[in-house]
Structure 1
Amino acid sequence: MQVIETLAEGLKREIKVVIPAKDMEQRMNERLADVKDKVRINGFRPGKVPVSHVKKMYGKSIMAELVNEIIRDQPTAILSERGEKSATQPEIVMTEDEKEAEKILSAQADLEFTLSYEIIPAIELKSVDGIKVTREVVDVSEEEITEQIEKIAESARTFEAKKGKAADGDRVTMDYLGKVDGEAFDGGKDEDAELVIGSNRFIPGFEEQLVGLKAGDEKVITVNFPADYPAANLAGKEATFDITVKEVAAPAATEINDELATKLGVESVEKLKEIVRGQIESQYGNVTRQKVKRQILDQLDALYKFESPSKLVDAEFENIWRQINTDLAQSGKTFADEDTTEEAAREEYRALAERRVRLGLVLSEIGEKAGIEVTEEEMQRSLFAQLQQFPGQEKQILDFFRNTPGAAASLRAPIFEEKVIDKLLAEVAVTDKKVSKEELLADDAEDGDKPAKKAAPKKKAAAKADDAAEGEEAAPKKKAAPKKKAAEGDAE
């Protein structure tokens, strides 16, 4: 077998592989000799079939098997011998001429094919001694815990019917029918719908017009759907709703005590506070970690500058760009609305894609050199988390991960990356800093790995392109109005 390098330009490689016809014939004859003793052919006793007859009957099919095995196995072996790693699956090209293919299968012509690929560049790891990060820490106050419990208690709050007029905080039970240009629209009708005034669950302007109504009242209210409303046929439209109030109920007083804790499924108010504190600390901890991670990535980005495989960058850019255009379409906006142009946005998000690929390669190298591995148990936990996000679709998700090439890697990659970040956190200089929750949650350039200048919907697109969750979908839309977001389902 001859292996000839025909292109070595930057990261691009092209290899020509030639296996002489006589070698292919020898391999075929070895396979035929093995088959001869196993096949059953009428007129011949088992094991007594002449090789020439077996060759006549099965030669081409066996040769085809050999060609497929070589095409499948040799690229990996060749790359290993060359000490190279391909950034993507190598592209394999061989003759498509039927006559030439026939000659190869008849062992009358050499088997030739080419491998085209980009190598992953060699990365010389640098010291992280100079990397310094600030870890922002928030102390959770008793007031915040109480505030959060009160919000949670809304789910257990009871209401008592009253005869007076509806006020802010009251629950209104009503029938409604929504119309645009005098015509009822899909999803704009409901009966016995319950709405707590001030919950901001319905579109702007709807709830405020219920204030002052009492049981038995009828009223036509007028509202405007937001310009970015998910249902395109309603976005920006003026609508009227025929309202019939059936009941007005005032909220019962809520006390944070053991009785409330029991209603919420917890044995005591102290345990409830403990749980809520843990939840808040976990939420802040996630934000803190993302900010620390961002600082590390920014400094690694400054440390490592090298050419990244173009196919990886292209794939990453396409993921980002697809999300950008999805967000624009959903919001009904254009690049001009975002104070940019498509050309400028492409340029900036291309730079973002290059950064992500480069940092991904750096983190991968750090992890491999450190012997970091993702366990089967960790993969199973990640898969379970995916299943929890989409109740009722468990089978489809399991089938996806079983049958889709590379799907398992989408579970492994974020786990591996976080373990590498953990390793780096143990090595870099970390300074803790007490901050308020407002400071912690302040929007400082969102992800930190988005373009510095304005390009497309910055607050969502680049961030979503990072989520794995690429299986992320909006919830089923049951009714279009009058909720603020169609994805929230029925008006309740």
Structure 2
Amino acid sequence: MQVSVEAGEGLERRMKIDLPFEQVSDEVEKRLQKYARSARLPGFRPGKVPMKVLRKRYGEQLHHEVLADMVQSSFMEALNQESLQPAGMPHIEPDFDLQEQRVGFTATFEVMPEFELGSVADKVVKRPVAEVADADLDAMIQRLREQRKAWNPVERAAEKGDQLTISFTGTVDGEAFEGGSSSGVTLELGSGRMIPGFEEGLVGAAPGESRVLDLTFPDPYQATHLAGKPVRFEVMVDAVAEPALPEVDAEFVKGFGVEDGDVERFMSDVRANMERELKDRIQARTKERVMDALLEANEIAVPEALVEQEIKAMGEQMRQAMGGAEMQLPSELFADAARRRVALGLILGKVVKDNDITADEGRVRKMVEEMASTYEQPQAVIDYYYGDRSRLSQVETSVLEEQVVELILEQVKVEDEPLSFDALTRSESASDQAAA
């Protein structure tokens, strides 16, 4: 077997493999001999077809079959011979000519990048420092009360925060448009559900009052044919209701699973959940900044094959999150994030290998137990993870990443960044939405 390798653009390689014609012919001959024992052709008894006839009739076909079978084995052998690590499946171009006794193929593929880790000693990582203050707990309780608020009808002018029941008709250039009219719609003033000016224009309106709102659709707008156009809404206010927040009492906390109605225990549980969330946010923000530092120190080429795989995986993940909807999502939507993930995967793998890091079993157990603690039957969740190696490996990967983060934090310059609970969780939530 003769092997030659040419470097293409970036990580692309073209490997030309010439197979010994005699080796292919010998294998063809073996298959012919085996087939001859039971071959049936018109004019010949079973198993008595002359080899010359079989060779003429099936020779070329068998050469193709043998070559196809030998491609995989010879490709793997050639990779080992040339010390190449492919990043994806190769594109195979056969080179087959019986007259010239030439059999071979060319495999085009990308290789995994080879690199040495860059130093992060000059990188600065800002690590958030925050705690759950009493004011944060009060604000959280207030949000929970808002979630359970009731609406009481009032006979007064509407104020921001009130809920209106309205009927409306919208026209553009004097003509009604699809989706521009409805009745019995409930709308909380200040919710931002409607186009700019709509909700503001209903402040001060009383039950039974009608108002005309001359507004303009935003540009851009989801309905592109309406973007930037002036619109008139004729609105009838059918009813006005004001919010009524529940008291934080036994009945209220029972609605959140505290069956005995113990308010103090409820407050303690809420604070514990907030502290757990804060810890996760701090770890996530710190990890993200460590990853940024690693990327800055290691500007590596990434195989496009792996990026494409990641794009497909992210697209499928989004489709599943949307209920398995059948839709074609543009690759550009995931391209940057996919490239970042692939690069980080290669860099993290190098860090793990160079530093001989293995997932700490104790930390794996602790992570599983922490996840299980939020369920009604923690032991069942623990058994679920430890009962399947593939599920446990996902936890081990997370632990490995934590260990890498700790290692890098020892090598970079760490600066504490004081933040409030609200600032940290609000900014993280915004980042999550943008990423989604």
Q: What TM-score do the two structures reach when normalised by structure 2? A: 0.69
SS at match of 1:214: coil
- Displacement of 1:363: 1.6
SS at match of 1:85: coil
| Distance (Å, rounded) in 2 between the aligned partners of 1:93 and 1:195 | 64
Q: Is contact 2:302-2:339 (8 Å) kept?
A: no
Residues 6-41 of structure 1: CA deviation (Å, up to 9, x unaligned): 558985543221113322221222233344446666
Q: Does 1:179 align with 2:171?
A: yes
Report the equivalent of 2:77: 77
Residues 181-209 of structure 1: CA deviation (Å, up to 9, x unaligned): 22222222222111122223222221122
Report the equivalent of 1:437: 421
| Distance (Å, rounded) in 1 between the aligned partners of 2:43 and 2:177 | 78
Point out the structure with max Rg over C-alpha: 2
Unaligned stretches of 5+ residues in structure 1: 96-100, 320-349, 379-410, 448-458, 465-471, 473-492
Letter in structure 2 aligned against 1:366: V
Report the equivalent of 1:227: 219
Letter in structure 1 aligned against 2:420: S
Q: Is contact 1:363-1:420 (8 Å) kept?
A: no
SS at match of 2:225: coil
Which of 331, 344, 363 does residue 348 from structure 2 map onto? 363
Letter in structure 2 aligned against 1:193: V
Report the equivalent of 2:373: none
| Distance (Å, rounded) in 1 between the aligned partners of 2:116 and 2:249 | 60
Which of 289, 292, 295 does residue 286 from structure 2 map onto? 292
Report the equivalent of 1:139: 131
| Distance (Å, rounded) in 2 between the aligned partners of 1:255 and 1:122 | 63
Report the equivalent of 1:214: 206
Residues 260-307 of structure 1: CA deviation (Å, up to 9, x unaligned): 23335553445654554455445544442343223323433454456x
Which of 111, 120, 126 does residue 119 from structure 1 map onto? 111
Q: Is contact 2:357-2:400 (8 Å) kept?
A: no
Go from structure 1 to structure 2 and tell me whether the alpha carbon gap of 1:424 and 1:277 turns closer, same or farther (over 3 Å shift): same
- Displacement of 1:351: 11
Which of 371, 393, 405 does residue 425 from structure 1 map onto? 405
Q: What TM-score do the two structures reach when normalised by structure 1? A: 0.62
- Displacement of 1:248: 1.6
Go from structure 1 to structure 2 and tell me whether the alpha carbon gap of 1:200 and 1:304 turns closer, same or farther (over 3 Å shift): closer
Q: Is contact 2:4-2:17 (8 Å) kept?
A: yes
Letter in structure 2 aligned against 1:60: E
Go from structure 1 to structure 2 and tell me whether the alpha carbon gap of 1:94 and 1:131 turns closer, same or farther (over 3 Å shift): same
Go from structure 1 to structure 2 and tell me whether the alpha carbon gap of 1:164 and 1:419 turns closer, same or farther (over 3 Å shift): same
Letter in structure 1 aligned against 2:27: R
- Displacement of 1:86: 2.5
SS at match of 2:226: coil
Unaligned stretches of 5+ residues in structure 2: 313-334, 365-390
Q: Is contact 2:131-2:278 (8 Å) kept?
A: no
Q: Is contact 2:148-2:245 (8 Å) kept?
A: no
Q: Is contact 1:88-1:311 (8 Å) kept?
A: no
Q: Is contact 2:215-2:230 (8 Å) kept?
A: yes
Query: Superposition pairs for residues 153-302 of structure 1, below 5 Å?
Result: 153-264=145-256, 266-267=258-259, 268=261, 269-270=263-264, 272-273=266-267, 276-277=270-271, 279-301=273-295
Report the equivalent of 2:66: 66
SS at match of 1:173: strand
Residues 427-468 of structure 1: CA deviation (Å, up to 9, x unaligned): 243787653236646979x98xxxxxxxxxxx99xx74xxxx
Go from structure 1 to structure 2 and tell me whether the alpha carbon gap of 1:441 and 1:15 turns closer, same or farther (over 3 Å shift): same
Q: Is contact 1:3-1:16 (8 Å) kept?
A: yes
SS at match of 1:233: helix
Report the equivalent of 1:150: 142
Go from structure 1 to structure 2 and tell me whether the alpha carbon gap of 1:209 and 1:355 turns closer, same or farther (over 3 Å shift): closer
Letter in structure 2 aligned against 1:16: K
| Distance (Å, rounded) in 1 between the aligned partners of 2:216 and 2:292 | 43
Go from structure 1 to structure 2 and tell me whether the alpha carbon gap of 1:136 and 1:245 turns closer, same or farther (over 3 Å shift): same
Letter in structure 1 aligned against 2:282: T
Go from structure 1 to structure 2 and tell me whether the alpha carbon gap of 1:351 and 1:175 turns closer, same or farther (over 3 Å shift): closer
SS at match of 2:132: coil
Go from structure 1 to structure 2 and tell me whether the alpha carbon gap of 1:118 and 1:241 turns closer, same or farther (over 3 Å shift): same
- Give the % identical residues: 29
| Distance (Å, rounded) in 2 between the aligned partners of 1:128 and 1:293 | 14
Report the equivalent of 2:329: none
Q: Is contact 2:119-2:297 (8 Å) kept?
A: no
Q: Is contact 1:224-1:238 (8 Å) kept?
A: yes
Letter in structure 2 aligned against 1:191: S
User: Over aligned residues, Cα RMSD in angstroms?
Assistant: 4.5
Go from structure 1 to structure 2 and tell me whether the alpha carbon gap of 1:213 and 1:371 turns closer, same or farther (over 3 Å shift): same
Go from structure 1 to structure 2 and tell me whether the alpha carbon gap of 1:179 and 1:262 turns closer, same or farther (over 3 Å shift): farther
| Distance (Å, rounded) in 2 between the aligned partners of 1:216 and 1:276 | 43
Query: Superposition pairs for residues 436-455 of structure 1, below 5 Å?
Result: 436-437=420-421, 440=424
SS at match of 2:182: strand
Q: Is contact 1:131-1:296 (8 Å) kept?
A: no
| Distance (Å, rounded) in 1 between the aligned partners of 2:291 and 2:144 | 36
Letter in structure 2 aligned against 1:64: H
Q: Is contact 2:39-2:48 (8 Å) kept?
A: no
| Distance (Å, rounded) in 1 between the aligned partners of 2:4 and 2:270 | 65
| Distance (Å, rounded) in 2 between the aligned partners of 1:207 and 1:276 | 34
| Distance (Å, rounded) in 1 between the aligned partners of 2:58 and 2:109 | 34
Q: Is contact 1:89-1:117 (8 Å) kept?
A: yes
